[in-house]
């Protein structure tokens, strides 16, 4: 089962007219009554359709517009539906390492007081959006009638402080918000000490250019903060709050938006993050909402598989459109950032993250949490990233082949081709079978094929707590083996770090470990009586210290007797030896993150 993050926008309507809203006119043109009538039905339809496609929304968050413009009865139904979804999928969500049991909403707090009891009854976690300094909240977060409601905001913050369930405050900052850093600091202390809200539960975001906002506000649009201003704020807040009761929040939460735990770490966010509107339209996220370039389809008219494929394709195309910045190519933190948000790249028409300098400062301050790749590995990781995110660039940069190798004239004869040699030898045919090995990762199956024959290369990322099981057909254990009980499952794990050895002094993948398990020790397989199974989760976790962040690993599997036959065939047949000089066994490339909280 594939897990995705689903952001649901039951209405685009909003009761405020914030001067920097990236949604432009969408919030004032929304039909609230229409949205209220279909909000619950759309979410239920989408969740059912995802389940039918074997997709699990492990996180269903409510966003806007402003969610609280909906009638309380509709909110009640939405909260109930989301809680039921979490309960029904409790085991699967827990297995992924998540603890979701209650709904979550993003709100401007304007209607918090009359809805607080409803929120508490459903244990809704609240993310409250305000402006800091508060003087700019009064100036830029006005009602639709143009009135300030700062006093009401402060009253609601006091009530939110006493709210018994999950809560936090977020603030989006432009250059104007950073013009007076001391005022911002003073208001953080004011909210914390005078209003009673624990400002450890606070996070910052930075405004970015928005074509929809510019179309609505014209020359009055707020200017985004520069990277230098972002870094200056980061340093100023550290100087003010380190050593105070808010130090933990500063270190853990305030700048969490720009760490790998958020979408900045996705090579292709279109593969796992989706925003659904009540009209059924699916977009990339809140940043891409309303932009045709980030529209993936509609859950009422398009198959889920098509929506997912469109999303991944559009995000990949957007990254490729702007190319790869030279600084990103040589950066030791490429694995943490992956060059940033594709929507902001589109809005800025630039290839690099708009918070790059800020992220670099954060990584420097926490070198154990965000270790840079060693200089010797940066080029290798950059090549791997380019192959995944910029395939055309990878082809263009591939070195031209040098025709310096002289091979036998009859190597090209049809009968001497590797596939012909395999077809002519019953044992080789079993050794290279593409339907005899399955690797199960958290319930998802990967068919393993010979690494020198297959045309597709999957590269999942594994964690120590993952369920990893290897299934093989029992018939393989009898091939080239007169006594099955003497045969073994033969497993090798290599790492994509080069070592040089052997008479030919070839650069090869570095061998990490070899493991053999005798046939009678294999377990029964859930695939049926014809299959056997070995649990590899503990074996990989045992060797976690050998795996490196950003470096691929190579799992190769066969049986002990098939391995012996392969080497005997190499000695007996030069044509086979030339074409199968690299280990030909079934394999899977994988990344492994040894941290438990990766």
Q: Which residue has the higher pLDDT, 420 or 262?
A: 420
pLDDT tens, position by position, 189-202: 999 999 999 999 99
- Strand pairing report for 461-462 and 273-277: unpaired
Q: Which of 112, 115, 44 is nearest to 78 (CA)?
A: 44
Q: What's the pLDDT at 230?
A: 97
Q: Pick the closest to residue 109 from 197, 221, 194 (CA basis).
A: 197
Mean pLDDT of 551-571: 96
d(CA 111, CA 156): 9
Residue 287 DSSP class:
T
Mean pLDDT, to the nearest integer, of 120-130?
A: 97
Task: State the average pLDDT over residues 349-367.
Answer: 94
Question: In whole angstroms, how far apart are CA 300 and each of 67, 217, 307, 311?
Answer: 22, 33, 11, 16
pLDDT above 50 for 596: no
Q: Do 169 and 190 form a contact (C-beta atoms < 8 A)? A: no
Percent of the chain residues past pLDDT 70, beyond the cut: 97
Residue 19 in this model has a pLDDT that exceeds 90: no
Residue 22 has pLDDT above 80, yes or no: no
- CATH superfamily ID and name for 2-258: Aldolase class I (3.20.20.70)
Residues 528-542 as b or e (16 or more Cβ within 10 Å = b): eeebbbbebbebbbe
Q: Dihedral of the CA atoms 151, 155, 157, 161 (nearest 10)?
A: 160
What tokens were used for 125? 């976690």
pLDDT at 101: 92
Task: Residue 139: name the closest of 184, 190, 177 by CA.
Answer: 177
pLDDT of 264 above 90: no
pTM of the model: 0.69
The mean per-residue pLDDT over the stretch 252-271 comes to 87
Q: Where are the alpha helices (DSSP H) in 89-180?
A: 90-95, 112-121, 134-140, 150-161
Tokens read off for 434: 């593409």
Distances from the Cα of 466 to the Cαs of 56, 343, 556, 574, in angstroms? 17, 32, 19, 42
Q: Which residues contact 291 (CB under 8 A, 6 or more apart)?
A: 211, 212, 283, 343, 346
What are the tokens at 405? 């190798």
Per-residue confidence band for 218, with pLDDT thresholds at 50, 70 and 90: low
Q: Which tokens hold the place of 297?
A: 């389809």
How high is the pLDDT of residue 85? 97
Cα angle 50, 32, 222 (rounded to 5 degrees) comes to 95
Query: Averaged over 505-528, what is the pLDDT?
Result: 95
Rounded Cα distance between 415 and 289, Å, is: 57
Across-strand partners of 295? 283
Question: Cα–Cα distance between 130 and 202 in angstroms, integer?
Answer: 11
> Over the Cα atoms of the chain, what is R_g?
28
Q: What is the pLDDT of residue 598?
A: 44
Q: What is the mean pLDDT of the chain?
A: 92
Which pairing describes strands 104-107 and 437-441: parallel, antiparallel, or unpaired? unpaired
What's the first-to-final CA gap in the chain, in angstroms? 20
Provide the pLDDT for residue 597. 44
Higher pLDDT, residue 479 or 215: 479
Dihedrals φ, ψ of 501, to 5°?
Answer: -160, 175
Interval 83-91 mean pLDDT:
96
pLDDT of 418 > 90? The answer is yes
Alpha carbon 380 to its chain centroid, in Å, reads 21
Average pLDDT of the segment spanning 178-187 = 96
Burial (CB count within 10 angstroms: exposed 0-12, middle 13-18, buried 19+), residue 479: buried
- Reported as a pLDDT band with limits 50, 70 and 90, residue 363 is very high
CB–CB of 168/126 below 8 Å? yes
Residue 530 has pLDDT above 60, yes or no: yes
Which tens digits make up the pLDDT trace of 50-70? 999 999 999 999 998 899 999
Q: What is the 3-state secondary structure (H, E, C) of 39-73?
A: HHHHHHHHHHHHHHCCEEEEEEEECCCCHHHCCHH
Confidence at residue 52, expressed as pLDDT on a 0 to 100 scale:
96
* For residue 133, cis peptide bond before it (omega within 30 degrees of 0): yes
Backbone angles phi, psi at 591, to 5 degrees: -100, 155
User: Quick one: pLDDT at residue 402?
Assistant: 67
Chain centre distance of CA 168: 23
Please list the residue range(s) of the chain that carry CATH number 3.20.20.70.
2-258
pLDDT value, residue 457: 80
Q: pLDDT exceeding 90 applies to what percent of the chain?
A: 78
Q: In whole angstroms, what is the distance from residue 371 CA to residue 348 CA?
A: 29
Q: How many CB atoms lie within 10 A of CB 390?
A: 18
Tell me what pLDDT residue 177 has: 94
C-alpha torsion angle, residues 565, 566, 568, 569 (rounded to 10):
110
Nearest-angstrom CA–CA distance, 580 and 404:
20
Backbone dihedral angles phi then psi of residue 202, each to the nearest 5 degrees: -145, 140
Can you give 230-257 as a three-state secondary structure string? Answer: HHHHHHHHHHHHCCCCCHHHHHHHHCHH
Secondary element (H or E) of residue 555? strand 553-559
Tokens of residue 11, six digits: 């209405």
What whole-number distance in Å separates Cα of residue 59 and Cα of residue 136? 32
Q: Which two tokens stand for residue 268?
A: 């292709």
């Amino acid at each position: 089962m594939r897990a995705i993050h689903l952001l649901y926008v039951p209405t685009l309507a909003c009761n405020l007219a914030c001067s920097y809203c990236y949604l432009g006119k969408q919030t004032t043109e929304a039909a609230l009554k229409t949205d209220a009538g279909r909000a619950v039905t759309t979410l239920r339809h989408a969740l059912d359709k995802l389940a039918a496609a074997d997709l699990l929304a492990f996180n269903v968050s409510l966003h806007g517009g402003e969610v609280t413009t909906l009638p309380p009865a509709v909110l009640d139904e939405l909260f109930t539906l989301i809680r039921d979804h979490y309960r029904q999928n409790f085991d699967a969500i827990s297995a992924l390492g998540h603890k979701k049991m209650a709904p979550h909403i993003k709100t401007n707090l304007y209607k918090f007081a009359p809805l607080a009891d409803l929120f508490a009854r459903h244990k809704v976690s609240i993310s409250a959006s305000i402006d800091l300094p508060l003087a700019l909240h009064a100036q830029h977060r006005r009602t639709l009638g143009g009135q300030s409601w700062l006093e009401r905001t402060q009253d609601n913050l006091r009530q939110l402080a006493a709210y018994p369930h999950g809560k936090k405050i977020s603030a989006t900052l432009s250059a104007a918000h950073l013009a007076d850093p001391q005022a911002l600091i003073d208001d953080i202390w004011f909210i914390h000490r005078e209003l009673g809200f624990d400002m450890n539960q606070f996070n910052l975001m930075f405004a970015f250019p928005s074509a929809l906002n510019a179309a609505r506000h014209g020359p009055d649009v707020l200017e985004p903060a520069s990277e230098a201003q972002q870094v200056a704020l980061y340093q100023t807040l550290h100087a003010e709050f380190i050593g105070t009761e808010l130090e933990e929040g500063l270190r853990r939460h305030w700048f969490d938006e720009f760490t790998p735990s958020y979408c900045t770490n996705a090579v292709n966010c279109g593969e796992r993050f989706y925003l659904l509107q009540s009209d059924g339209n699916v977009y990339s996220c809140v940043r891409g909402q309303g932009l045709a370039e980030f529209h993936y389809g509609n859950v009422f008219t398009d198959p889920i598989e098509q929506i997912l494929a469109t999303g991944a394709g559009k995000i990949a195309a957007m990254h490729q459109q702007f190319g790869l910045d030279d600084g990103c190519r040589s950066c030791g933190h490429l694995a943490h950032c992956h060059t940033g948000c594709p929507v902001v790249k589109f809005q800025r028409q630039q290839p690099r993250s708009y918070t790059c300098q800020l992220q670099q400062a954060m990584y420097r301050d926490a070198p154990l949490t965000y270790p840079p790749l060693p200089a010797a590995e940066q080029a290798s990781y950059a090549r791997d990233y380019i192959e995944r995110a910029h395939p055309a660039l990878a082809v263009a940069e591939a070195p031209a082949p040098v025709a310096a190798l002289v091979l036998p004239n009859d190597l090209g004869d049809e009968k001497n081709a590797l596939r012909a040699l395999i077809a002519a030898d019953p044992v080789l045919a079993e050794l290279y079978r593409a339907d005899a090995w399955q690797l199960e990762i958290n319930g998802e199956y990967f068919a393993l094929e010979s690494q020198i024959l297959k045309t597709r290369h999957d590269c999942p990322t594994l964690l120590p707590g993952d369920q990893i099981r290897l299934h093989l057909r029992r018939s393989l254990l009898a091939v080239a083996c007169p006594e099955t009980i003497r045969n073994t499952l033969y497993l090798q794990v290599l790492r994509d770090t080069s070592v040089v050895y052997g008479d030919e002094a070839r650069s090869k993948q570095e061998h990490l470990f070899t493991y053999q398990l005798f046939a009678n020790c294999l377990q029964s397989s859930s695939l049926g009586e014809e299959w056997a199974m070995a649990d590899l989760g503990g074996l990989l976790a045992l060797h976690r210290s050998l795996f490196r962040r950003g470096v691929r690993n190579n799992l190769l599997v066969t049986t002990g007797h098939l391995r012996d036959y392969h080497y005997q065939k190499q000695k007996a047949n030069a044509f086979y030896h030339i074409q199968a000089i690299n280990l030909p066994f079934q394999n899977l490339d994988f990344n492994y993150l040894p941290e438990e909280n990766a």
